[in-house]
Structure 1
Amino acid sequence: MTERLIIDQSTLVKYDNPLLVTKHDDNSKEVDIQTCKTKGVADPKHEIEEVLNSILPPKEWEEEGQLWRQHVSTTPATRQDVVNLQEQLDMRLQQRQARETGICPIRRELYTQCFNEVIRQVTINCAERGLLLLRIRDEMRMTIEAFQALYCSSIAFGMRKALQSEQGKTDLQKDVDELKEERTDLERQLADLRQRAEQADRRAAELRLAEEKKHAEEISFLKKTNQQLKAQLEGIIAPKSNK
């Protein structure tokens, strides 16, 4: 493998320098590993590399037709490395403007990288402890994904309810508009009926006045006729009394 000096600044996990992968190198590595297994030679460093590669798989990418691979570092961490990791975490949280509270993908990504680096450091000293931390990491990831699924489901449920309420609101508004139109129509009918009633009352009053006037005229006429007849009757009766 050909070594390429590149420092990966995209993650908090410490990686070795990228290596150019060739068929000859891969075959040589396989031969060396097979030789170690055949001879029964236990290589602690190789075992740690295998555990680390299972926990944090190496990165691979192609560039200019060449395949590059980058493994996590197997260098043990010092106290200063831990201090530097904390400082880098704080610096990147500030640089990427991660939220201090609430849901923040940036903060989660950086803390995940930090936890992976802690797992790498622990695994180098004790593989069993690193595997236990791996279980904890995976369980935390599953829990977070479950909460995310629940959150998305609740959001979808809320959106459905909001749409249903909006649709119900639209239907209710339509009913309100129809009732308003019906009320307006009834008010118009009421006004028309009131106008007709007033006209009928006026006609009835006029008719009543005309009837009363006619009745008064008839009474006056009858009284006058009665007086004339009475006068005529008295005129007829009076001469007979003188005889």
Structure 2
Amino acid sequence: MMHKPSDSLLKHDYPVLVKTNENSPKGCFLSVSSPQSADTVPVPCPPRPEFAFNKSVIQWQENKEILNMIFPPRQWAEGSDLWVQQVSRVPGSRADVVQLKKLLDTKLQQKQARQTGICPIRRELYAQCFDEIIRQVTINCAERGLLLLRVRDEINMTIAAYHTLYESSVAVGFRKALQSEQRKYQLKQKISDLENENEDLKIQLTDQKEKFGLTEKSKTKKRLALCEEIQLLKKKNEDLKTQLVEIIAKQTQKPET
């Protein structure tokens, strides 16, 4: 369902209520200023006015068609009624331009548009102001209006290209940020695993040191015991040698006696 358009800086005529006349040829509409009752007899389509084909009339018709091409009529529905509002064809004066400037400043202040940076509200109001300037110029000189239309379309294309580039850049940045966060999470997990592994290795190292200390103490005790045993064996060996020498000496001394 079409809704009533909001106010715009682009000047329009008064809206017209459009009713379809079922008895008229296809595509013919009846324009009235107020709704008709059910008993009202449908009025046939008014005859097309016959203009003298002089230069001014032809120029007016061309400008009218160009304005309709540049700014198509606005349509909206209220219940079962269809309203149509066409752009104004009244030429703009110096006072209109001054009034347009005041109205632009007023709307910028009322809608609290930003003075700098990116602001959709400010951009929309300036676009409406530019459309109104194109309308005023087109009425006086259609060629100049069409040239301004090309400028407007080129500006809109450039803004759309920047908007697409911005969206793609945001998407790429968002994807990179997600990848970075994922990589950061993986690195944190890896650091945590390495820290846990390091703690386990420290515990194992402490256990091995304790085992090594106990083994060294046991070996030292065994070494000392072995050394004492060797000393005892050496002493015993010396005693046996001494006894053996004494026995041999006694044996050698007996025959002489």
AA in 2 matched with 1:20: L
Find the counterpart in structure 1 of residue 23 from structure 2: none
Find the counterpart in structure 1 of residue 151 from structure 2: 136
> Deviation digits for residues 121-143 of structure 1, max 9, x if unmatched?
11121111111111111111111
2:78 aligned with 1:63, yes or no? yes
Is the 8 Å Cα contact of residues 72 and 86 (structure 2) preserved in structure 1? yes
> Deviation digits for residues 24-75 of structure 1, max 9, x if unmatched?
349746x425x44xx6453544433222121111111122422211111122
The CA distance in 2 between the partners of 1:147 and 1:25, in whole Å, is 43
2:81 aligned with 1:75, yes or no? no
User: What displacement does 1:197 show?
Assistant: 1.5
Given candidates 100, 105, 114, the residue that maps to 1:99 is: 114
The CA distance in 1 between the partners of 2:246 and 2:110, in whole Å, is 132
Q: Tell me, what secondary structure is at the counterpart of 2:83?
A: strand
The CA distance in 2 between the partners of 1:163 and 1:116, in whole Å, is 43
AA in 1 matched with 2:212: A
Q: Tell me, what secondary structure is at the counterpart of 2:219?
A: helix
Is the 8 Å Cα contact of residues 113 and 122 (structure 2) preserved in structure 1? yes
2:162 aligned with 1:147, yes or no? yes
Is the 8 Å Cα contact of residues 16 and 31 (structure 2) preserved in structure 1? no
TM value normalised by structure 1:
0.82
Is the 8 Å Cα contact of residues 17 and 82 (structure 2) preserved in structure 1? yes
AA in 1 matched with 2:193: E
Given candidates 121, 126, 144, the residue that maps to 2:136 is: 121
AA in 1 matched with 2:48: D
AA in 2 matched with 1:146: A
The CA distance in 2 between the partners of 1:83 and 1:46, in whole Å, is 28
Q: Tell me, what secondary structure is at the counterpart of 1:24?
A: strand
AA in 2 matched with 1:32: R
The CA distance in 1 between the partners of 2:130 and 2:247, in whole Å, is 140
AA in 1 matched with 2:226: E
| Cα 1:46/1:63, change in 2 over 3 Å | farther
Find the counterpart in structure 2 of residue 24 from structure 1: 30
User: What displacement does 1:149 show?
Assistant: 0.8
Given candidates 212, 227, 230, the residue that maps to 1:197 is: 212
Find the counterpart in structure 2 of residue 89 from structure 1: 104
Worse-superposed segment, 46-55 or 222-231: 222-231
- What root-mean-square deviation, in Å, do the aligned CA atoms of Structure 1 and Structure 2 show? 2.6
Given candidates 8, 12, 25, the residue that maps to 2:9 is: 12
User: What displacement does 1:214 show?
Assistant: 1.1
Is the 8 Å Cα contact of residues 17 and 31 (structure 2) preserved in structure 1? no
- Higher fraction of helix: 1
> Deviation digits for residues 80-115 of structure 1, max 9, x if unmatched?
221221222122222222222222211111110010
User: What displacement does 1:79 show?
Assistant: 1.7
User: What displacement does 1:238 show?
Assistant: 6.4
2:189 aligned with 1:174, yes or no? yes
The CA distance in 2 between the partners of 1:180 and 1:218, in whole Å, is 55
% identical aligned pairs = 44
The CA distance in 1 between the partners of 2:30 and 2:68, in whole Å, is 21
